[in-house]
């Protein structure tokens, strides 16, 4: 059993697999309801990092650089068909670095990278650091900057105690991230942003174009930092339509070349 990847609904005949990476403090539950919205041709695998949900008792990672080799090792056996990455906020940065690590290993990479609510990795971190703040102030700062912490967690001391360690670890990962310059990815990149997101502005999303040799698309949607949770944003549907179109194009261009998994 691979504890890193959760499948709520297996589609073993699907020709595509989408690996999803949650925001800071999030887990597989962040993508509840996405399966049906993506359609039958895509199998959805949720990346479950240590320290949350089904892996709550495991030590979380505090560094993206430390995390990536373990994550890519775990992905290896799941790459038996074309796949793509989707990441939200911190998850976008992790997905990007996972794609780069696959390239370093000479392994097949994603056919496309979808990123949301995350500034381009080469840009300096624009916010005051908060990973070292005392618990009450830390939670206040996270809530004021991003929102997204359920009120029952804030008000329940036990729930707060369970959430705080991996949320702080995730915030530390994003705040201590160091970008290493490298060649752009071969796969295309699609970036999504919330029109009311005051933490990730459109110009910082536009800079993702520098990280791809392929096509780049940017789409702004209604909502704040957690705009994918809004039904009217229709993010899973947008990803599904774009991904299926990409793969059909690749099939026409490379119909004689079988998929080479890891």
Backbone angles phi, psi at 17, to 5 degrees: -130, 135
The verdict on residue 34 lying in a domain is yes
**Number of independent structural domains in the chain:** 1
Q: Give the model's confidence band at 15: pLDDT under 50 very low, under 70 low, under 90 confident, else very high.
A: confident
pLDDT at 253: 52
Between residues 56 and 179, which one has the greater pLDDT? 179
The verdict on residue 155 lying in a domain is no
pLDDT at 230: 84
Of the candidates 76, 57, 83, 67, the residue with the CA atom closest to the CA atom of residue 24: 67
Residue 24, C-beta contacts closer than 8 angstroms, at least 6 positions apart: 89, 90, 146, 167, 170, 171, 173, 174
Convert the pLDDT of each residue in 131-156 to its tens digit. Answer: 999 988 888 888 888 877 777 676 67
Q: Would you say residue 262 has pLDDT above 50?
A: no
pLDDT at 246: 80
The verdict on residue 104 lying in a domain is yes
CB of 191 within 8 A of CB of 115? yes
The verdict on residue 173 lying in a domain is no
pLDDT at 229: 85
Interval 10-39 mean pLDDT: 89
The verdict on residue 152 lying in a domain is no
Among the listed residues 20, 89, 190, 240, the single catalytic one is 89
Please, what is the average pLDDT of the chain?
89
Between residues 164 and 182, which one has the greater pLDDT? 182
Domain that holds residue 118: 5-125+180-253
Which of 25-39, 59-73, 242-256 is the least confident region?
A: 242-256
Q: Would you say residue 82 has pLDDT above 60?
A: yes
pLDDT at 144: 86
Between residues 9 and 82, which one has the greater pLDDT? 82
The verdict on residue 102 lying in a domain is yes
Interval 31-53 mean pLDDT: 91
The verdict on residue 157 lying in a domain is no
Convert the pLDDT of each residue in 210-250 to its tens digit. Answer: 999 999 999 999 999 999 888 778 999 999 999 988 877 76
pLDDT at 254: 53
Q: Would you say residue 121 has pLDDT above 60?
A: yes
Provide the sign of the torsion angle of the four alpha carbons 98, 102, 108, 113, taken in this order.
positive
Interatomic CA distance for residues 40 and 15, integer angstroms? 9
Would residue 89 show up in a list of annotated catalytic residues for this protein? Answer: yes
Cα angle for residues 10, 70, 8 (degrees, 5° grid): 15
CB of 242 within 8 A of CB of 219? no
Q: Would you say residue 110 has pLDDT above 80?
A: yes
pLDDT at 259: 47
The verdict on residue 43 lying in a domain is yes
At 17, which CATH number?
3.40.50.1820
The DSSP code for 204 is H
Q: Would you say residue 1 has pLDDT above 70?
A: no
């Amino acid at each position: 059993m691979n504890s890193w990847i959760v499948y709520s609904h297996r589609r073993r005949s699907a020709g595509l697999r989408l690996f999803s990476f949650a925001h800071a403090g999030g887990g597989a539950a962040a993508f509840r309801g996405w399966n049906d919205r993506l359609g039958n041709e895509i199998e959805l695998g949720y990346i479950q990092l240590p320290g949350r949900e089904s892996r709550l008792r495991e030590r979380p990672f505090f560094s993206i650089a430390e995390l990536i080799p373990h994550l890519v090792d775990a992905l290896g056996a799941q790459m038996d068909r074309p796949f793509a990455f989707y990441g939200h906020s911190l998850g976008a940065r992790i997905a990007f670095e996972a794609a780069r690590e696959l390239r370093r290993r000479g392994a097949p990479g994603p056919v496309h990278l979808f990123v949301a609510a995350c500034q381009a990795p080469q840009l300096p971190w624009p916010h005051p650091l908060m990973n070292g703040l005392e618990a009450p102030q830390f939670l206040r700062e996270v809530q004021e900057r991003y929102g997204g912490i359920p009120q029952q967690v804030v008000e329940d001391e036990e729930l707060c105690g369970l959430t705080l360690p991996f949320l702080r670890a995730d915030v530390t990962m994003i705040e201590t991230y160091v970008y290493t310059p490298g060649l752009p990815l071969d796969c295309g990149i699609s970036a999504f942003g919330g029109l009311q997101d005051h933490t990730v502005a459109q110009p910082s999303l536009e800079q993702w174009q520098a990280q791809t040799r392929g096509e780049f698309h940017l789409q702004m949607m209604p909502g704040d930092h957690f705009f994918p949770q809004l039904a009217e944003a229709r993010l899973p549907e947008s990803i599904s339509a774009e991904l299926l179109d990409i793969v059909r194009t690749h099939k026409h261009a490379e119909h004689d070349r079988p998929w080479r998994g890891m």
